[in-house]
């Protein structure tokens, strides 16, 4: 039985983790996620992806039973690299990936959320990286992405103590962009997705490329990349139409949003 549910409508693909009771990321789930992300990346109709979970958990991370069998350097490295590869693909996606954190989001679950471009959490959700309590460290990119999001000091506190944060605290430190009532979570994520799909596809891809790539290079290189992408957009039909529509006080007619 699949451990995910995929629905596509209005240019938005929704991937729902469905592996009761805690939506853990075992090897089978990782393989399925690789396949489903292949599918949505290749589907030209899909403009935005939303990832969420079912039940009380968004994702409780790796399967403890599988972790117990990682007893060699090779098996440990192979497991970490498998997860890192998938999450890096998500992070590098040309399509914006939103995560709607419906419940507890810890370990590999938070690492999955960190790889997504926009994070929205339900009030009451808990977020953390508790691997230190198992004598481990995050292995799917958590030690690298979390400091880039919340700063080295707060990341070190979270990783070294293994303690979780409330969704409200996660909002305060910038780990998530908004916290909403649980019953509004999916609707809020879909509203953000709708705003994105209403923009020109080329501009969205360029913006995502500039934001994502700029995190790993010096500011001077990031500014050069931004200027290059900006200049390419200046000659697109979408830019011409959007500017003209603004001047004429009407909604733009962007060809890329009508596909």
Catalytic-labelled residue, pool 131, 169, 248, 256: 131
Phi-psi region of 138 (alpha: psi -120 to 50; beta: other; left: phi over 0): beta
Count the neighbouring beta carbons within 10 Å of the beta carbon of residue 212. Answer: 14
Q: Of 61, 165, 175, give the one whose Cα is nearest residue 119.
A: 175
Is 205 marked active-site?
no
Q: Strand 118-122: give its sheet, edge to edge.
A: 4-9, 12-17, 48-53, 97-101, 118-122, 178-180
Helices (H), the chain: 27-42, 64-68, 73-91, 108-115, 142-150, 152-161, 167-172, 185-197, 201-214, 219-233, 237-247
Name the 3-class secondary structure at 9: strand
DSSP classification of residue 54: S
Is 91 marked active-site?
no
Catalytic residues: 111, 131
């Amino acid at each position: 039985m699949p451990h995910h549910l995929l629905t596509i409508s209005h240019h938005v693909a929704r991937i729902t983790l469905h592996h009761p009771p805690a939506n853990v990321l075992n090897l089978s789930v990782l393989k399925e996620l690789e396949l489903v992300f292949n599918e949505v990346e290749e589907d030209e109709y899909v403009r935005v992806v939303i990832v969420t979970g079912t039940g009380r958990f968004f994702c409780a991370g790796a399967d403890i039973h599988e972790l117990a069998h990682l007893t060699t350097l090779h098996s440990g490295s192979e497991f970490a690299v498998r997860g890192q590869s998938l999450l890096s693909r998500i992070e590098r996606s040309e399509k914006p990936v939103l995560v709607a954190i419906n419940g507890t989001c810890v370990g590999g679950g938070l690492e999955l959320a960190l790889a997504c471009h926009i994070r929205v959490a339900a009030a009451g959700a808990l977020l953390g990286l508790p691997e230190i309590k198992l004598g481990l460290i995050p292995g799917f990119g958590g030690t690298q992405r979390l400091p880039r999001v919340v700063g080295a000091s707060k990341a070190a506190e979270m990783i070294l103590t293994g303690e979780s944060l409330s969704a409200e605290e996660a909002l305060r430190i910038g780990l998530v962009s908004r916290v909403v009532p649980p019953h509004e979570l999916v609707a809020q994520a879909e509203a953000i997705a709708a705003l994105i799909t209403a923009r020109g596809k080329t501009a969205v891809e360029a913006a995502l490329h500039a934001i994502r790539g700029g995190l790993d290079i010096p500011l001077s290189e990031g500014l050069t990349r931004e200027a290059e992408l900006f200049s390419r957009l200046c000659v697109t039909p979408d830019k011409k139409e959007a500017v003209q529509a603004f001047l004429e006080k009407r909604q733009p007619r962007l060809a890329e949003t009508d596909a």
